């Protein structure tokens, strides 16, 4: 992103949890983790949760819990909870610590698991979510497509991150292809009304009608 854009955004898009701000900047430039979402994406997730009055949100791909804290902070304020899933053997410990240090532990159910297994189990438990935020391995968006579609309530929203990978510079073509397949599938799916926003590496928003 253009430096001027970044500086201007940072002037307004303030973090809602101070510890999250520390995590975000402390983890910048690390090459052993996948990038946390940018503040404008985190704040957009918070905005959606507030606007829809969401009470139950599922995140697939917790990383070191940056986006999880954005969402949990907002959910706390309106009596909601976040379920977050990640299968990483090493960064999971960091995610757990970060959620604890953010003061939001009681609002977050942390599931250390592969996303495909987690969504299957959540369905077996009969759970439904107001919002599902997809930010795990790109190939898996289409693999778990039907489970995610079933887990989101009627009137709920799926927010999928990195969906403009097909046209982003410095992104491996196979990742772009996975995202293209996902976009093709969800934009053609009559159960949803979808749109795409060029925030971060792209967000596809799908409202379950
Ligand atoms: C881009 S990072 C998530 C960043 C996080 N949403 C944030 O903004 O802080 C993607 C995460 O997905 C996890 N992941 C990848 N494939 C997965 C899978 N099949 N099941 C569960 N987690 C997975 C990785 O371990 C990684 O931590």
Sheet architecture: strand order including 192-197 = 108-112, 81-86, 56-60, 129-134, 152-161, 203-208, 192-197
Count Cβ neighbours within 10 Å for each residue of 183-208 and write b for 16 or more, e otherwise: beebeeeeebebebeebbbbbbbbbb
Q: Model-level pTM?
A: 0.97
Q: Report the top-level CATH class of 3-208.
A: alpha beta
- For a mutational test of ligand 1's pocket, the pick from 19, 58, 86, 97, i.e. the residue with the most ligand atoms closer than 8 A to its C-beta, is 86
User: Does residue 1 carry a pLDDT above 80?
Assistant: no
Nearest CA to ligand 1 atom 27: 63
pLDDT at 53: 98
Q: Quick one: which atom of ligand 1 is closest to the CA of 61?
A: 12
Span from the CA of 89 to the centroid of ligand 1 (angstroms): 11
Q: Phi/psi of residue 88, each to 5°?
A: -70, 130
The tens digit of pLDDT for each residue in 168-190 reads: 998 899 999 999 999 999 999 99
Distance 76 CA to ligand 1 centre (A): 23
Alpha carbon of 136 to ligand 1 centroid (Å): 4
Distances (CA, A) of 156 to 47, 51, 65, 153, 193: 14, 12, 23, 5, 11
Would you place residue 2 in the very low, low, confident or very high pLDDT band (cuts 50, 70, 90)? confident
Please report, for the chain, the start and end positions of each structural domain, with discontinuous segments joined by +: 3-208
Distance CA 30, CA 13 (A): 22
Q: Phi, psi (5° rounding) for residue 158?
A: -100, 130
Q: Is the CB of 36 under 6 A from ligand 1?
A: yes
Q: Which ligand 1 atom lies nearest to the CA of residue 63?
A: 27
Q: What is the pLDDT of residues 35-75, one digit of tens each?
A: 999 999 999 999 999 999 999 999 999 999 999 999 999 99
C-alpha 160: how far from its chain's center?
Answer: 7
């Amino acid at each position: 992103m253009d430096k001027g854009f970044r500086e201007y955004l940072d002037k307004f898009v303030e973090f809602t949890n101070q510890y999250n701000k520390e995590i975000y900047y402390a983890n910048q430039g690390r090459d052993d983790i996948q990038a946390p979402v940018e503040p404008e994406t985190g704040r957009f997730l918070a905005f959606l949760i507030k606007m829809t009055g969401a009470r139950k949100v599922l995140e697939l791909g917790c990383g070191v819990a940056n986006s999880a804290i954005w969402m949990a902070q907002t959910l706390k304020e309106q009596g909601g909870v976040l379920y977050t899933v990640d299968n990483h053997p090493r960064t999971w410990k960091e995610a757990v610590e970060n959620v604890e240090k953010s003061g939001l532990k009681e609002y977050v159910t942390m599931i250390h698991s592969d996303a495909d297994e987690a969504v299957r189990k959540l369905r077996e438990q009969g759970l439904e979510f107001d919002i599902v935020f997809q930010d795990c391995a790109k190939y898996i968006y289409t693999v778990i497509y039907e489970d995610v579609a079933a887990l989101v309530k009627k009137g709920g929203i799926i927010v999928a991150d990195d969906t403009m990978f097909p046209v982003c510079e410095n992104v491996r073509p196979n990742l772009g292809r996975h995202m293209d397949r996902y976009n093709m599938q969800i934009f053609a799916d009559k159960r949803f009304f979808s749109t795409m926003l060029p925030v971060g590496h792209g967000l596809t928003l799908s409202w379950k009608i």
